[in-house]
Chains A and B, each alone.
Chain A
């Protein structure tokens, strides 16, 4: 009884419950034939959402109004530039990754400079930034589609003991993020800032430094995700980040992180990412058209929020 209550008080439990239901429904519908393939696909595609979702979660934790809209553009530019630099040579894989990370650093710092120096609300600052990044990507993407180096391509598309490599990468990153959030002073600081920036400043927390680090972290994770996604899908495309804008926000919130800030959790992001992918594939197996699929996706998001959200009232 006590364990059950403890379990149900966790905000992330709902996203996992919903995921399980959808998984079972889909597997039952297909007669159990696809359970392994479905799980592997779900893990792979959820992994990309998890990586960008973690970054977005850290930003959202900072409190109301903090959101990074430059995630899709950063992904696109990172994928484009990294593949261009690597130019199908296996020896350049590490250099490409380094370039991605440096790009993330630059974008994150740029975002925060706009927010801090120009006092622009984060939504507008990251939006303006994303326009500039997107333009750079369009300019850099001229010419033929460049393939990823062979080793990198096979790494991103293969499995280890049946678990997709991408999912393992995402798992490692989530573990690091969890330690960062729960066990380090930095994690306590961002939660404190999210709960009350004023109080955090009064207690001597370096608010600006922490916020800068958070925006940089989010951009770096988006960069890494773009690098992996471009390698996974065999080349960078200009619209490859587009769906991750809403996705990164949706997984954070469905996962049980408070939008008002100051309260976040990482397991929920996994549950929500798996859930979002499985819903789409469930609707696909039922043979719904694009229109119905979108409508049902939307209604399901709202239903999950209705069931899970609104309990921790802080208004």
Chain B
């Protein structure tokens, strides 16, 4: 049986997630239940959505440093406008997605570094969020709350949602022709251009799609937390980048894996729970998270080497 390189790419993130999960179950067997799993992975859904959004941007060789502030902005819109007058809320979201597309166009036309443009945008989104909600507050729309707290039979909502996100994005990015083109822009812009495709449209579309997933992330987050705050998701910028890398994605070359990205997001979420089960003092929690990140990446290097040795034999 021939294993594709894409599958190999997935084995490592999946193995690290399984290992971490096994460690959590070993330390806290009660987590091995419907409620336990739901609690463990609850916050993973918005992180997974943000990671998918970041992955799209990374697929075209760019990087979005405004992800955290943008998700915070979306959370604020959800908790205020979308809750009070859904029509205006939807309009704002459409505007935000259009803004993302516009960023893609500007970056492409002027050949600007995406890091800087999104850095500037992070101030803009942060400012808009502060204007909407100067202090924490707002209320989650009933349907978002219902969706995020619903209890499907046998499998917790968080797991169902993660699988749905992974499968939908997998078909969108890995199986559809648009997905091939998006990854093509990251792999070799020139050949996509020579083949007659409009790279500017592709980039705008990719950014818009990323904006769409980030909007979903904001809505999901408010569905879980019931209220919002201008700083609610600031750490998502770094979490989403780390999630893509953990999931086997690369910064350049259009090498991304949607299923891997979702698994990466789950791993990062689980790392937090793992540490609280280990009763590590709060002082060292952040540091231990960094250490876990390093260990997982070291594991990936080790497995990569193993794979290479197999190949050369």
Give A residues with C-beta under 8 Å from B.
Answer: 64-65, 67, 69, 114, 118-121, 123-125, 127-136, 138-139, 246, 249-250, 253-254, 259-260, 289-302, 305-306, 309-310, 313, 315
Contacts and interface: CB of A to CB of B under 8 A. Distances in A.
A132 B119 contact: no
B283 A120 contact: no
Contacts of A114: 294
A213 B120 CA distance: 30
Contacts of A128: 290-291, 293-294, 297
Interface of A (DSSP majority class): helix
Report, nearest first, the 5 A-B pairs whose CB atoms are least far apart. Answer: A135-B287, A131-B290, A298-B123, A294-B127, A295-B127
Interface of B (DSSP majority class): helix
A290 B128 CA distance: 10
A28 to B, nearest CB: 25
Given A139-B283, A294-B126, A309 B110 contact: yes
A297 B120 CA distance: 8
Contacts of A67: 115
B98 interface: no
Interface in B94-140: 106, 110-113, 115-117, 119-131, 134
B1 to A, nearest CB: 29
Interface of B: 65, 106, 110-113, 115-117, 119-131, 134, 189, 238, 241-242, 245, 251-252, 283-291, 293-294, 297-298, 301
A121 to B, nearest CB: 6
Contact of B131 (A133, A291, A299, A315): A291
B298 A118 contact: yes
Contacts of A139: 283-284
B128 A291 contact: yes
Contact of A123 (B117, B119, B121, B241): B241
B297 A301 contact: no
B116 A291 contact: no
Contacts of B298: 118
Nearest to A249: B119
Contact of A291 (B65, B113, B127, B291): B127
